[in-house]
Amino acid sequence: FAKLYPDLPRERPQEETPSAPCAPRLYPEIPSELQEVPFTKGQLKLLEPGSWLENVDSYSEDFEGLARQEKHAFYELLMNYWRCRKQLLLAEAKLQSMTEDCRFIENKLWTFREEQLTVQVTTIYKEKVWGLDRFRSFFFLKKKKKKKKEKARETLQVTYCTVKSCERLFARSRRKIMLNGLCTMRSQHKTGVGGGSRDVECLHSSLLLLKECIAVLFCFTRRVLDDAPFQSDVHHWLEKLVSVLHRIGSGGDHLYLLNHILRCPAGVRKWAVPFVQIKVLDNPSGVFHFMQSLALLMSPVKNRAEFMCHMKPSENRTGAVSDKESGNWTLVDEVGEEDEDPETSWMLLSEDDLIFLFSQFPFDELFIHLLGMNSKGAYQPERTSCQQMMKIFAFATSLVELLAVGLETFNRVRYRQFVKRIGHMIRLTICYVSDHWAQYVSVNKTRGLTLQHQPYSLDKLQVEFDELFLRAVLHVLRAKR
């Protein structure tokens, strides 16, 4: 019978057929293993909220609204006291000058004048004889000098009485301010935090008055004071009022003091360093106070030149003294170029001031709080969860970012040692976090946990730690000093 279909060849001939276009996929291809990506800075802020750098401008604006008190009654009282002190110093200098004059001429109380007298006589022979007699006339001047000295003593006595009256009036005003603050503190202790609105208004008004008087005293620290006793009095009164503010004030009031110190002339390490008091442990707002104060210190000081206007050296005073006699040094970098502008270098804080202020920050307490140590100092890394570990990375990132701002702000030759201290603190932060991360990994691997039921795996945490380490290294490498 005939075949209905022809026989097929055993081997199919290879023919070039045009490839059909691939249809686009409806869903992307899912990789077999997902690659972990580190969190951005915005995502890390959700884990550890705190806009430290963003709050610097707002705290500076609030500070400037209260720091200028040139029209305050306490300012006028202090100005009068300063003027009386000047009059007293002038009177004392005048009395000293007169006393030295009296001592100089005490052996020359007699003054003389050369005189001559013509004499005519008649001899027995009735002849006229002319003669010239020269002699000295002596005068006693003790009474005249005594009157001048008594007049100077009377002027000194009147000026001294005026100064004492101003001192009594000023002491009375200062005592009233301190008593108001202490009474407010006692009433707050008795009524507690949940007191009435009247107590809250009384506390607010007393704090406002106290901060205004502190601002007035800080105004006189930004002036050229040739009177050492007056300067020591201002520092002593500041210590008294600041101690009251430390007792009844909040964290914002402590930042108010730091803003004042950062706008004072060089030399604050000698009197203003104890005003910066930061406590992290056993303090609910300790971490906020620490980080916000660090942000203020590391950031450029806003409007510092306006606050230092009374300290600007005048052209007449600087022009009269040569550079060799004045003792001014010109700082240059390693290339030999000048690092500072002479027009603005006079208003900068010294490196020792910044080092002393930086030493007031208790980094040891911050790391104890960060690593979860208890009050007795017991370190228990096995109790750290993956959420806590991620928060440690987020907080360490914020701390490194603040310190990196300081590396950029103080990028000067005169701050070389201070910049090294900031870099050392960045390295110390990474060391503490790295040791804690190693302990965490060791504990979890020993237990055999895969952390699949946890929100963050070990791989994800390892990526975040690597990113933290990379950011710290890049900040240090970008610093020129």
Number of residues that this document lists for the chain: 481
Q: What is the pTM of this model?
A: 0.74
Tokens 């005594």, located at residue: 146
Tell me how far apart the alpha carbons of residues 216 and 71 are, in angstroms, rounded to a whole number. 10
Q: What is the pLDDT, as a whole number, of residue 452?
A: 56
Q: Counting beta carbons within 10 angstroms of the beta carbon of residue 28, is it exposed (0 to 12), middle (13 to 18) or buried (19 or more)?
A: exposed
> What tokens were used for 471?
């950011």
Cα 307 from Cα 467, distance rounded (Å): 41
d(CA 468, CA 396): 8
Residue 105 resides in a domain: no
Within-domain flag for 471 = yes
CB atoms under 10 Å from CB of 18, counted, come to 5
Residue written as token pair 């202490």: 182
The answer to whether residue 381 sits within a structural domain is: yes
Domain that holds residue 430: 39-53+281-299+346-448+456-480
Identify whether 222 is part of a domain.
no
- In tens digits, what is the pLDDT along the chain, a chain of 481 residues? 556 666 766 655 555 555 555 666 677 666 555 577 888 888 888 887 778 888 898 898 889 888 888 888 888 888 888 888 888 788 778 777 877 776 676 666 666 778 888 877 777 777 787 777 787 776 666 555 555 556 656 665 665 666 666 666 656 655 555 555 445 444 544 444 445 566 677 778 888 888 998 999 999 999 888 888 889 989 998 999 999 999 888 888 999 999 999 999 999 999 999 999 999 988 888 999 999 999 999 999 988 888 888 877 654 444 444 444 445 555 555 545 445 666 677 788 999 999 999 999 999 999 999 888 876 778 888 888 888 999 999 999 999 999 999 999 999 888 999 999 999 999 999 999 999 999 998 888 766 555 556 777 888 899 999 999 999 999 998 887 6
Q: Is residue 19 one of the residues assigned to a domain?
A: no
Residue 360 · residue 278 · CB < 8 Å:
yes
What's the CA gap between 42 and 398, in Å, rounded? 11
Task: Please tell me whether residue 169 adopts helix, strand or coil conformation.
Answer: helix
Q: Do the domain assignments include residue 166? A: no
- Residue 454, Cβ neighbours under 10 Å: how many? 15
Measure the CA–CA gap between 266 and 216, rounded to whole angstroms: 19
Q: How far is CA 222 from CA 75, 268, 347, 349, in A?
A: 14, 11, 10, 12
How many CB atoms are located within 10 Å of the residue 438 CB?
A: 12
Alpha-carbon span 429 to 363, nearest angstrom? 9
Q: How far is CA 273 from CA 153, 187, 278, in A?
A: 42, 30, 12
Total count of domains within the chain = 1
> What is the reported pLDDT for 96?
79
Determine, yes or no, domain membership for 43. Answer: yes
> Rounded distance, CA 403 to CA 419, Å?
10
**pLDDT tens, position by position, 85-104:** 888 788 778 777 877 776 67
pLDDT tens digit string along 30-50? 655 557 788 888 888 888 777
**Maximal CA-CA distance, the chain:** 212
Structure-block tokens of residue 291: 């980080």
Residues 6+ apart with CB under 8 A from 96: none
3-state secondary structure at position 367: helix
Identify whether 330 is part of a domain. Answer: no
Provide the strand spans (E) within 43-172.
110-122, 128-140
Question: What secondary structure letter does DSSP report for 270?
Answer: G
